[in-house]
A and B are shown apart, each in its own frame.
Chain A
Amino acid sequence: MFSYCSDPETLSGLTWLSCYLTTGKHTSLYLSFGTVLLLLAITAPIALVFGFGGASAARSRFVPLSWLGKAYIGIVRGVPDIAFFLFFVIALDQAFEYLRHTIKCPDWDQPIRQGNDFVVCAAAKLPLGDAPQWVHETYGFFLAVLTFSIIFGAFAANVLYGAMQAVPRAQVETAEAYGMTHRQAFWRIMVPQMWVYALPGLSNLWMVLIKATPLLFLLGVEDIVYWARELGGTKTPKFTDYPHGDWRMWYFGALLVFYLLFTKVSEVVLGRIMRRLTHGQATMGGEAQRKAAA
């Protein structure tokens, strides 16, 4: 990176550190912070959509659909979320390959599960055997995003379902008295009003989502945890220009600080949004704001 870095053995102190922290591998570490942010940016809206779908399904008057929605909300109760992460990654992968297999190789006659193997035809492999490395990485990341979205969609469905219940019943009754259909009352009355009730739960969920991002490591994505372990381990002079002892503790300390800052900033921002949204609402919070101003 810097011109004086050409011969690291002669360096010491801060100059050594500045060279050490700008090696190619460290750039990968910094880029993986981007991976985490990208995961958050993609997962949050998709999970919200899944959650909205789940919550609306749970409220449906069509009984099997409502069971489906309630089952979706219920899956995350009672079972550790990490078990779902490990489960969905393999299950989704096999589901996709199985789908492609049935479409692409209809005349395949061997069973798919042969003992301890899951065998699909070569054309159905995901990603294809000869695909470049970046396709493998993107596919892994895509699976991780989908897994996160399904699980956090269930959490969000739970929050939104509660928020829909919290909208005063009289509001919907009034809408029906005006002759609105069930569907109109839902979209025009219920949905616009539910967000203020949902926001505390959703901001909690955002914090939980931030704190779940290191689990990407378990899904096989090269994220910050992966790089912290790689870079922190003992390095001998044989393999690197920057030999050092076991520094993993410092790397994970840095990750700890990163997450603390991230959650703190989120907390402050979400607090501001909440203050703005409660302004003028007929809730306890809105009343407190009115009294404080008066």
Chain B
Amino acid sequence: MSCWDTVADYALRSVGIGERLLPRSDFTLCQQVTLIGSGMIWNIYFGTIALLSGFFLATALAMAKAAHSPLLRKPAEWFIFVFRGSPLFIQFFFAYFLFLSLKNVFPVFSPLTSAWAGALVVLFFNTSAYSAEIFYGAMQSIPKGDIEAADAYGMSGWPRFRRIIWPTMLRLAWPAYTNEAIFLFHATALVFFSGFPATQQMGDALYYANYFADKTFNPFIPYPILACYFILLTLTVIKLFGIVNQRLNRHLPQLQRGRIRLRPMLVR
């Protein structure tokens, strides 16, 4: 069986298209590269959707945390504390069993017991909390003069937020937010190890890497393959976020433009 056949059989295996049975013996390098790459579909799916949707909730949470009214501020503070103060791993477990119990009472919740929806919800809340803290910090460090200038022009409320506060907040938060995005993608590797079942062995990249390591008892091939895929993904994220960063900073003189520094500090 040539490598092209393997690619045709397994390239979309993680979403259930192609050969049903996973390889069981005589593992080739081609099989490992293809299947682990196929698993990356899930990592990209979880990361992208959670990031895009989490962005809006994070902005709202950051606004709420900066609000004067305790009715808005307290819930936002608690939400951020709960999701940032506990391990993502435990959050996955708790959410999975919570959804299982809910499913028994209200059948509406049954999609949430499968990974594609349930884990996505957890990741969405989690990244919202982390990003909200970043946005809140950026909002606190908006130069006072910017707001005063907006006031002097007679801006207030929504126009002031949309044209002054929000763009400046994003510009200041962007390097930290890039890190958050990278580590969110890394966190997606936890999904299939934390309660959520991989139905019909449709799992993410780490699931397949672990499968091969267990079967061949040789960790030195699947995990480096996985590492290569994730480094590629990380570089892509840095590239995309760098483009946005340039656009956010385009009005500043060349030397003042913030450069994104990767800080590997945000494991959950």
Consensus secondary structure, chain A interface? helix
Contact with B along A69-89 (1 / 0, CB 8 A): 000000011111111001100
Given A78-B234, A116-B25, A116-B217, residue A259 in contact with residue B94 (CB < 8 A) = no
**B97 engages A259 (CB within 8 Å):** no
Among A11-19, A131-139, A244-252, A280-288, the one that faces the other chain is A244-252
Taking CB atoms, residues of chain A closer than 8 Å to B216 are 116
**Contact indicator B86/A82 (Cβ below 8 Å):** no
Contact of A90 among B186, B206, B217, B230 (CB under 8 A): B217
Chain B nearest CB, measured from A223 CB (Å): 11
Do the beta carbons of B90 and A214 come within 8 Å of each other?
yes
Separation of A83 and B90 alpha carbons in the complex (Å): 18
Q: Verify B189–A83 contact, CB threshold 8 A.
A: yes
State the total of A-B contacts with C-beta under 8 angstroms.
Answer: 131
User: Is B116 in contact with chain A by the CB < 8 A criterion?
Assistant: no
- The stretch of B9-17, B163-171, B219-227 that contacts the partner chain: B219-227
Q: CB-CB contacts of B137-152 with A at 8 A, as 1s and 0s?
A: 0000000000000000
Q: Give the contacts of B201-255 with A (CB-CB under 8 A).
A: 206, 209-210, 213, 215-220, 223, 226-227, 230-231, 234-235
Interface positions, chain A 113-168, Cβ under 8 Å from B, are: 113, 116-118, 155, 158-159
**Which of A181-189, A203-211, A270-278 contacts the other chain?**
A203-211
Identity of the chain B residue whose Cβ is nearest the Cβ of A204 in the assembled complex: B265
* A249 in complex: contacting residue of B91, B94, B215, B266, CB < 8 Å: B94
In the assembled complex, the CB of A234 is this many whole angstroms from the nearest CB of chain B, namely 11
Taking the complex as formed, is B4 at the interface, i.e. its CB lies under 8 A from any CB of chain A? no
A161 CB to closest chain B CB, in angstroms? 12
**Which A residue's beta carbon lies closest to that of B233?**
A78
Whole-angstrom CA separation of A78 from B226 in the bound complex: 11
Contact pick for A218, options B182, B193, B219, B264, CB 8 Å? B193
Beta-carbon nearest neighbor of B81 in chain A: A260
B98 part of interface (Cβ distance < 8 Å): yes
Contact B101 A246 (CB under 8 A): yes
B63: interface (CB < 8 Å): no
Q: How far is the CA of A249 from the CA of B82 in the complex (A)?
A: 16
With A81-B186, A205-B265 known as contacts, the answer to whether A260 contacts B86 (CB < 8 A) is yes
- The residues of A that contact B209 with a CB separation of less than 8 Å are 83, 86
B262 touches A (CB below 8 Å) = yes
Asked if B187 is at the interface of the complex by the 8 Å CB criterion, the answer is yes
Q: Which residues of A contact B81 (CB under 8 A)?
A: 260, 264
Whether A79 touches B186, Cβ cut-off 8 Å, given contacts A87-B223, A208-B267, A256-B90, is yes
Given contacts A116-B25, A259-B86, contact A86 B267 (CB under 8 A): no
Q: A87, A228, A263: which has the most chain B beta carbons within 10 Å? A: A87
- Bound-complex Cα distance A90 to B210 (A): 11
Is A252 within 8 A of B94, CB to CB? yes
Selected contact of A91 from candidates B98, B219, B231, B268, CB within 8 Å: B219
Q: Are A263 and B97 in contact (CB under 8 A)?
A: no
**A259 contacts B85, CB within 8 Å?**
yes
A residues within 8 A CB of B206?
80, 82-83, 86
Instruction: From known contacts A83-B226, A83-B230, infer whether A76 and B264 are also in contact, taking CB-CB under 8 Å.
Output: yes
- Known: A225-B90, A249-B97. Is A211-B265 also a contact (CB below 8 A)? no
Assess whether B190 is interfacial by the CB under 8 Å rule. Answer: yes
CB distance from A185 to the nearest CB of B (A): 27
Q: How far is the CA of A228 from the CA of B92 in the complex (A)?
A: 14
Q: A233's closest neighbor in chain B, by CB?
A: B97
B227 touches A77 (CB 8 A): no
Which B residues lie within 8 Å of A53 (CB)?
none
CB-based contact B86/A211 at 8 Å = yes
The answer to whether B223 touches A86, judged by C-beta atoms less than 8 angstroms apart, is yes
**B189→A256 contact, CB < 8 A:** no
A260 contacts B85, C-beta separation under 8 Å: yes
How would residues 171 to 195 of chain B score, 1 for a CB under 8 Å from any chain A CB and 0 otherwise? Answer: 0000000000010001101100100
A232 to B234, CA, bound (A): 38
Q: Is A8 an interface residue (CB 8 A)?
A: no
Ordered nearest first, which 4 A-B pairs have the shortest CB separation?
A80-B186, A249-B97, A252-B94, A211-B87
Given A80-B187, A228-B93, A252-B93, 9 new contacts (CB under 8 A): A80-B190, A83-B206, A83-B226, A83-B230, A118-B217, A211-B86, A215-B89, A248-B97, A259-B87
Can you spell out 13 A-B residue pairs with CB atoms less than 8 angstroms apart? A76-B264, A78-B227, A79-B230, A79-B231, A80-B187, A83-B189, A86-B206, A86-B223, A116-B27, A232-B97, A248-B100, A249-B94, A260-B85
